[in-house]
Structure 1
Amino acid sequence: MTNVLIDANHNETTRRERLYAGDIYVYSPTKSTKAICQLADELSREAFHPFTPATAQHDLPVEKYVEILKDLKPKFIHHPECKKIIPAILSELGCVNDQTYFDVPRLRTACAGDYLSTGMAYAFKPHRDTWYSPPMSQINWWMPVYPISSDNTMAFHPKYWDRPVQNNSARFDYQDWNSRGRVEAASQSVKQDTRFQSAAIEPVDLEDDLRITCPPGGIIVFAAAHLHSTVPNTSDQTRFSIDFRTVDRRDIERNEGAPNIDSEAQGTTLMDYLRATDLSHFTHEEVDREMNRIKYPLNPTPADLVEESLA
């Protein structure tokens, strides 16, 4: 059963254990989460001027909108303040920063209606991030930049936490994804996204989904193994959000994390993470070890359950 824990006063070790067991944490805005949302807001207002970012889709042709996002999103990702603010967020929320590694934050957009749902504003269908080659100990951190509601947030599907989903992640290799130039491909995918995306290949029951809303700068924390999706945006505003991911060195060394019940993705994202104290990377030896690790399954379910589910 998935529990949603709001402003829980758990230490960082307990939090990681509960995240790996399927719980979700929600925190109120902090000084640093407000700061990174303010940075995203400033860059977005500058990019969409004279229009308001959350409603600019109603004022611009989709091709122009894509051109704006093509410049805005990398500008946010590589802004020097981001690498200062993320460690501050982690510290405020109790992480052990010399053991915690993060990847660069992404600015996401989910447009209203069917204006744009591919490429630079890809609308994620039900998926686990573990279908995209991260360590099973990856933890996701997600926050809205502007106010959201249940009709433009994201959804969790907790009934699938311990229930395998047939998927095509065996075709996904992170190293191949990078070599093919993901940014260029995304910026060119306006009407139809031609990039391979790991996805469910069986119907997913979306009834009783779990939708969490929080104020701008509020942050939702969950394991990468959670099945989740972009809610079809039936509001009249584009949702802007920020997300980043972390792994803990101790869990990498011990090969600990959430159960892997259905991911066969190849490669690893481990080389992307930066240590929160000094921005150093994992060593080549550590990355190679992760690449060579047998990752399916990490914590196996009974063989008959897996075979039955994936038959």
Structure 2
Amino acid sequence: MAFVISTDGGVADAARRHRIYSGEVFCLPPRDSIRAFADFAWELIIAAFGDHDPATAHDEIPVEEYVRILGPLKTGFTHHLHSKELLRDVLIDLGADPTRTYFDVPKLRAVPPASYLTAGLGYNYTPHRDTWYSSPQCQNNWWAPIVGVTSESCMAFHPDYWQQPADNTSADFDAYEWNRTSRRDAATYITSDPRPHPRLSGHGPGSEIRIVGEVGSILSFSGAQLHSTVPNTTGRARFSLDFRTVDLDDLITKAGPVNIDSVSTGTSVRDYRRADSYDQLPDEVIDLYDQGGSADGVLVFDPAVLKAP
């Protein structure tokens, strides 16, 4: 199918989900709820970098210090109660039912120039599907710019591989082993990143489409879309936020595009929390997806391991 981008912010949530499962990507125009989320993230970023301009701090401090700033900043944003509240407000504003919609905690992304940092906390994602990371086929991805997003520092889609199998290394990815070591160790990698990120093998990603949105806008797309980080070739850092959602009924019915090439093990569904109550998914729903996975791994990542003793 042709790569379809919609800017229609009035589509009902169920219709939007159906359309992204067919390969459509929504680039929703700015809304106050999304702008409030980005503004909160920016406040935390400004506070963390102190006297340094976050956009150009990489010109002033060693990369080791930059990473020491990013660690608590990213963790603080992800697990801040207000982040969860603002995420819930965005979902309600966009028409999702907070009693049936579950979200994974939001992530703050910092992408300084590629010549400075591309590993660990500043990892540049090579072309991948989120489903290669043990995510359900009905996962909805959401991505919103904060500052510094241009055509040379944004996210790219690779539509040639929508519902076309791609050789990849997802067989090496186990969600529970990832929780046990890789998520914990991200801050230790500066010059290279040996973690088992699933990636293409033996061929390139095909064509590339870059989408640049303004602050307050948000992208909505299927976790099965092949996408990547555009290495930052500008002189300014790019900051963005993203999160993932699933609809309870979609999980139960195993909705979403067909799994054509993911062989990762374990499941990420335990990470999701109900938008209104923050409750975990029901055990019987988790059981639908808990097929395999390392017996020695960790089912749910504990952010306490990131704190200094």
Q: Percent of pairs identical after alignment?
A: 40
**What is the SS of the residue equivalent to 1:229?**
strand
1:254 to 1:149, Cα distance in 2 relative to 1, 3 A: same
2:284 maps to 1:285: yes
What does residue 8 of structure 2 align with?
A: 7
| 8 Å contact from structure 2 (residues 9, 29) kept in 1 | no
The two structures have a TM-score, normalised by structure 1, of 0.91
2:235 maps to 1:233: no
2:34 maps to 1:36: no
What does residue 131 of structure 1 align with?
A: 132
Q: Deviations over 1:218-269 (max 9, x none)?
A: 1000000000001121111111000000000001110111221110111111
Using the TM superposition, give the Cα deviation of residue 205 of structure 1 relative to its aligned residue in structure 2, in angstroms: 3.8
One-letter identity of the residue aligned with 2:142: W
One-letter identity of the residue aligned with 2:186: A
Using the TM superposition, give the Cα deviation of residue 8 of structure 1 relative to its aligned residue in structure 2, in angstroms: 4.0
What does residue 301 of structure 1 align with?
A: none
| 8 Å contact from structure 2 (residues 182, 195) kept in 1 | no
The two structures have a TM-score, normalised by structure 2, of 0.91
In structure 2, runs of 5+ residues without a counterpart are 293-309
Using the TM superposition, give the Cα deviation of residue 18 of structure 1 relative to its aligned residue in structure 2, in angstroms: 0.6
What does residue 298 of structure 1 align with?
A: none
What does residue 166 of structure 1 align with?
A: 167
Using the TM superposition, give the Cα deviation of residue 113 of structure 1 relative to its aligned residue in structure 2, in angstroms: 3.0
| 8 Å contact from structure 2 (residues 157, 225) kept in 1 | yes
Using the TM superposition, give the Cα deviation of residue 9 of structure 1 relative to its aligned residue in structure 2, in angstroms: 2.3
**What is the SS of the residue equivalent to 2:197?**
coil
Q: Distance in 2 between matches of 1:145 and 1:40?
A: 8
What does residue 117 of structure 1 align with?
A: 118
Q: Distance in 2 between matches of 1:289 and 1:21?
A: 23
| 8 Å contact from structure 2 (residues 245, 272) kept in 1 | yes
One-letter identity of the residue aligned with 1:138: Q
| 8 Å contact from structure 1 (residues 147, 215) kept in 2 | no
**What is the SS of the residue equivalent to 2:81?**
coil
Q: Which runs of 4+ in 1 moved over 3 A?
A: none
One-letter identity of the residue aligned with 1:260: N
What does residue 195 of structure 1 align with?
A: 195
Q: Distance in 2 between matches of 1:115 and 1:181?
A: 22
Using the TM superposition, give the Cα deviation of residue 49 of structure 1 relative to its aligned residue in structure 2, in angstroms: 1.4
Answer with 114-123 or 274-283: which moved more: 274-283
| 8 Å contact from structure 1 (residues 165, 202) kept in 2 | no
1:1-311 alignment, distance < 5 Å? 1-180=2-181, 182-183=183-184, 185-206=185-206, 208-292=207-291
